[in-house]
């Protein structure tokens, strides 16, 4: 029977398997809200930060390029809210599309739709409500940014299907999750430029790298059910290839910042981000319990470090 017709589970429905124990949703959210909060991954906010940091990088790059204009702090606040809404909408759409696959994967079968906590129909209504709220945020920016933001929905829509047809779904996630770099810059300039594109392409390489690490958690289940990923494609070469993606990302980030006038301050402080990337690769062990998840989560600090490096260079 289609899970559109499944009733929601009882209020005592367990937390999602891959959520951190004692997260705020499980502890404080009202019972009626918990399944929807889990659907939007509010119990795992790492995705919000990974979507938000490229927005800050775009804003920071624009501030370095034009110091007199300064950093748009209000724009950053709006983008944080927008990132939370769009990440929630994207996860909701992904879970609607993947509900049959999620039933077959140990880490995901406890998600709200496959576990029966939320019906696919109710999830769709929740998706629309998040998208509408996100559109309110988007329309606070200039016309070019609005058009660019709307265009990104194509990437969001096709991503869940990519794991069925290509070994490179992580590349399509990169195209979508890196889009904030373009939004951040264009919100200040009403256009694009070469440094922005370098920032965007570097961020795509970063996303492919960290999502390959994340996908290592599911390689056995994915192989059994026929789902494709770069983790499966790379196999024993995963560490070396991810190192290459991370190195390429850092080089492109450095080139983007240099082209807009960043100096020694950015070059030195950005080494913190480079060091965190190197640590992930050097200590990665797919066979060790929880090792890939911890290294994946460390990318929040990579995003923070690069943002602070840009802000420090702007202030300097």
Q: Would you write out the chain's pLDDT as a tens digit for each of its 316 residues?
A: 333 333 333 344 566 666 676 788 888 889 889 999 999 999 889 999 999 999 999 999 999 999 999 999 999 999 999 999 999 999 999 999 988 887 877 777 888 898 888 999 999 999 999 999 999 999 999 999 999 999 999 999 999 999 999 999 999 999 999 999 999 999 999 999 999 999 999 999 999 999 999 999 988 878 878 889 999 999 999 999 999 999 999 999 999 999 999 999 999 999 999 999 999 999 999 999 899 999 999 999 999 999 999 999 999 8
Query: What is d(CA 203, CA 51) in angstroms, rounded to the nearest whole number?
Result: 11
pLDDT (0 to 100) of residue 6 = 37
The answer to whether position 22 is within a domain reads: no
Query: What is d(CA 99, CA 160) in angstroms, rounded to the nearest whole number?
Result: 11
The answer to whether position 1 is within a domain reads: no
Domain of residue 233, residue span: 29-315
pLDDT (0 to 100) of residue 13 = 54
Number of structural domains in the chain = 1
pLDDT (0 to 100) of residue 2 = 34
The answer to whether position 45 is within a domain reads: yes
The answer to whether position 42 is within a domain reads: yes
pLDDT (0 to 100) of residue 17 = 62
With a CB cutoff of 8 Å and minimum separation 6, the contacts of 207 are 50, 170, 173, 174, 177, 178
Query: What is d(CA 226, CA 193) in angstroms, rounded to the nearest whole number?
Result: 40
CA atoms within 13 A on the CB side of 229: 25
pLDDT (0 to 100) of residue 110 = 81
pTM: 0.90
The answer to whether position 271 is within a domain reads: yes
Q: Can you list the alpha helix ranges (DSSP code H) found in the chain? A: 24-28, 34-39, 46-65, 73-97, 99-102, 120-138, 143-165, 169-177, 180-189, 194-215, 219-225, 230-234, 238-259, 264-283, 291-297, 299-315
The answer to whether position 19 is within a domain reads: no
* CATH code where residue 73 lies: 1.10.357.140
The answer to whether position 3 is within a domain reads: no
The answer to whether position 6 is within a domain reads: no
């Amino acid at each position: 029977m289609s899970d559109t017709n499944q009733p929601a589970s009882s209020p005592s429905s367990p937390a999602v398997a891959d959520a951190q124990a004692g997260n705020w949703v499980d502890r404080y959210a009202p019972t009626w809200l918990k399944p929807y909060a889990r659907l939007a991954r509010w119990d795992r906010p790492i995705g919000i930060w990974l979507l938000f940091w490229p927005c800050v990088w775009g804003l920071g790059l624009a501030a370095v390029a034009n110091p007199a204009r300064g950093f748009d702090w209000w724009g950053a606040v709006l983008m944080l809210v927008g990132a939370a809404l769009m990440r929630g909408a994207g996860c909701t759409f992904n879970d609607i599309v993947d509900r049959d696959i999620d039933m077959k994967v140990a880490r995901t079968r406890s998600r709200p739709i496959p576990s029966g906590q939320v019906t696919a129909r109710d999830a769709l209504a929740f998706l629309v409500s998040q998208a509408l709220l996100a559109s309110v945020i988007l329309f606070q920016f200039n016309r070019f940014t609005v058009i660019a933001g709307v265009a990104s929905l194509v990437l969001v829509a096709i991503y869940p299907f990519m794991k069925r047809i290509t070994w490179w779904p992580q590349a399509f996630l990169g195209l979508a999750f890196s889009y904030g770099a373009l939004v951040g810059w264009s919100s200040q300039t009403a256009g694009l430029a070469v440094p922005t594109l370098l920032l965007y392409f570097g961020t795509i390489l970063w996303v492919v790298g960290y999502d390959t690490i994340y996908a290592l958690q599911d390689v056995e289940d994915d192989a059994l059910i026929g789902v494709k990923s770069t983790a499966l494609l790379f196999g024993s070469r995963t560490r070396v290839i991810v190192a290459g993606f991370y190195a390429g990302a850092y080089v492109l980030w450095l080139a983007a910042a240099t082209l807009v006038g960043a100096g020694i301050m950015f070059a030195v402080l950005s080494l913190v981000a480079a060091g965190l990337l190197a640590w992930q690769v050097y200590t990665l062990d797919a066979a060790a319990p929880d090792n890939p998840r911890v290294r994946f989560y460390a990318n929040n600090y990579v995003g923070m470090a690069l943002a602070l490096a840009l802000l420090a260079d702007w202030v300097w």
